[in-house]
Chains A and B, each alone.
Chain A
């Protein structure tokens, strides 16, 4: 059974600092890995999708890496802004389902 762990559970940084969010998973037989953002009381917004054959994906200030063999992914957010405050969820896609981590709640202080 796939287990997804996200570290740290919470993070508070001053504006402008770079963010590093970690995700690990136990079963490397995955189709892809997806990072989502969830604002309080809202739905899930997809940030980045990394296919199992890829090593990284980039979108603007966001960069995600994937090391499938070691079961790890890292989401980097450059030059953080108060608008980046949210919960970030890592999810791995295997065998007709997406397994989620518990999330990292990020607060960016102005």
Chain B
């Protein structure tokens, strides 16, 4: 029944590893997003996809690569993880002019 679901909920990994976070929405929305919430709790857009097409890439390092296999899924792959990547990553979806629905977040800890 969950509208926007992310997996995993927690991710602890060593520096230099590669990891992926998956996101799925069952709301029929045409736009999906990845947001990062840093240690100061500020939420910042990373990527925006509309109908599987990348619309926004907000100065995110190339180590981060989003993939949208279809309108209902937006995955985030991170290469060569660094300590500074530790944060909470939120997936969200919306229709063009409607409200956003957020997933419950993935807490990434790089050690």
Shortest CB-to-CB span from A59 to chain B, Å, is: 12
Interface assignment of A91: CB less than 8 Å from any CB of chain B: yes
Question: What DSSP secondary structure best describes chain A's contact surface?
Answer: strand
Which size class do A's interface residues fall under?
A: 20 to 34
Contacts known (A43-B102, A91-B100); A96 close to B56, Cβ less than 8 A: yes
Interface assignment of A100: CB less than 8 Å from any CB of chain B: yes
Contacts known (A100-B42, A100-B43); A34 close to B105, Cβ less than 8 A: no
Contacts known (A43-B102, A43-B105); A97 close to B41, Cβ less than 8 A: no
Question: What DSSP secondary structure best describes chain B's contact surface?
Answer: strand
Q: Mark B35-71, 1 if CB is under 8 A from A, else 0.
A: 1000011111100101000011010000000000000
Interface assignment of B109: CB less than 8 Å from any CB of chain A: no
Which size class do B's interface residues fall under?
A: 20 to 34
Q: Mark B71-111, 1 if CB is under 8 A from A, else 0.
A: 00000000000000000001010101111111111000000
Contacts of A87 in B (CB 8 A): 41
Contact assessment for B45 and A98 in the assembled complex, using a CB-CB cutoff below 8 Å: yes
A31 CA to B104 CA in the complex, in Å? 24
Contact assessment for A102 and B42 in the assembled complex, using a CB-CB cutoff below 8 Å: yes
Pick the residue among B42, B44, B48, B90 that contacts A96 (CB under 8 A).
Answer: B48
Q: Mark A16-56, 1 if CB is under 8 A from B, else 0.
A: 00000000000000011010101000111010010100000
Shortest CB-to-CB span from B78 to chain A, Å, is: 20
Contacts known (A96-B56, A98-B45, A100-B42); A34 close to B104, Cβ less than 8 A: no
Interface assignment of B25: CB less than 8 Å from any CB of chain A: no
A98 CA to B100 CA in the complex, in Å? 8
